[in-house]
A = this chain, B = another copy of it.
Amino acid sequence: MHSFLRKLNNFGALSDEEQHALQTIVGPSKQIKRGEEIIADGSSPTHSTLLLRGLACRYKMLEDGQLHIFAFQYRGDICDIQSFVLNEVDYAVAALHPCTVAPIAHDDVKRVTGQYPNIARVLWRDSMIDSCIFREWLLNVGRRPALSRIAHMLCEQTARLEAINENGSHVVITQAELADATGLSAVHINRTLQELRELGILAKRSRPVTILRPDKLSAIAHFDGRYLHAAELI
C-alpha cells in the first residue's frame, strides 16, 4: 500500500500485524504547492510528515541568507522523523515540486514503537540510512572537485529514483537547486554540466538532465551506491 511501508519493510521484515499498525497511524493526506514550506525551521510539530508524492528538500538558511540543501526527499520518505525523537527540528522542509504529504502523530508513533520493538528498529534504521547519506554528502562537498561532485549527486538521485521504481523518470532538479545542494555556485554548475555534455555523458538538451552514459558518470563520481542501503529495492 503506502510506499513508505514497502521501503521500511524491505529492511526489517515487518509482520502483517506490524504493517497494519503502521498503516493505521497515517493521517489524511494534504496537497502542497511547489515552493511552499512543509515544515518550518525550529518548529516542534506533534506529528512527523510522510511524503506520498512529489519532490521535497530539507534545507537550512544561513545567517547571510544563503540556502543550503542537505537532502532530497522522494515518496515514501519520512521528512522529519527527527521531530519524534528530538521534539524539535533544526531545519526546514519545502516542496520543490507539487507534493502530497500525510501526518503521522507522534503519540501514535510512541504507542506503536512501544508495542512493537521491531517497528522502532525499522524506523531507527531508516533514519540511520539518512545519516549514511549525510556522510556521503559531506565527503562529496568536502573533497571532490566540481565535476565529480555533480556527477555523484546525479548518480545518487538516479539511484534513488530507481529504488522507488521510477526508472523512467529523470532527475528534475534545477541548476540553482543543484548549486544549493553541492555548495557550488549556479554559474559553475552550469559550466560543469556543459562539460559533462561535451564528454557525451549527458544529453545535449539541458532539461531534463538526461544521462546517456551512466557507467562513465559513476566512474567520474567514484559512486558506490551501497551507502543508500537500497539494494533490496531494485
CA distance A107 to B215 in the complex (A): 40
Q: Is A213 in contact with chain B by the CB < 8 A criterion? A: no
The reply to whether A128 and B82 contact each other, CB–CB distance below 8 Å, is yes
A66 to chain B, nearest CB (A): 6
Residue of B90, B124, B141, B226 near A127 (CB, 8 A) is B124
**Contacts A62-B222, A66-B143, A86-B129 known; A134 to B124 CB distance under 8 Å?**
no
Contacting B at CB under 8 A, from A140-195, are 141-143, 182-183
Query: Does A108 have its Cβ within 8 Å of any Cβ on chain B?
Result: no
CB < 8 Å: which of B63, B68, B85, B142 contacts A121? Answer: B85
Q: Interface code A106-150, partner B: CB below 8 Å = 1, 0 otherwise?
A: 000000011001001101110111111011011101110000000
> Do A68 and B127 touch across chains, with their CB atoms under 8 A apart?
no
Structural contact, B60 and A135, CB atoms closer than 8 A: yes
Q: Cβ of B120 and Cβ of A68 under 8 Å apart? A: no
Least distance between A181 CB and chain B CB atoms (Å): 9
Tell me the complex Cα distance, A113–B191, Å. Answer: 51
Q: Which residues of B contact A113 (CB under 8 A)?
A: 117, 120-121
Within the complex, what minimum Cβ distance (angstroms) separates A69 from chain B? 9
CA distance A63 to B62 in the complex (A): 31
Partner of A131, one of B62, B131, B139, B182: B131
Given A68-B138, A70-B138, A141-B142: 6 more A-B contacts, CB < 8 Å: A62-B139, A63-B222, A82-B132, A86-B132, A114-B117, A127-B128
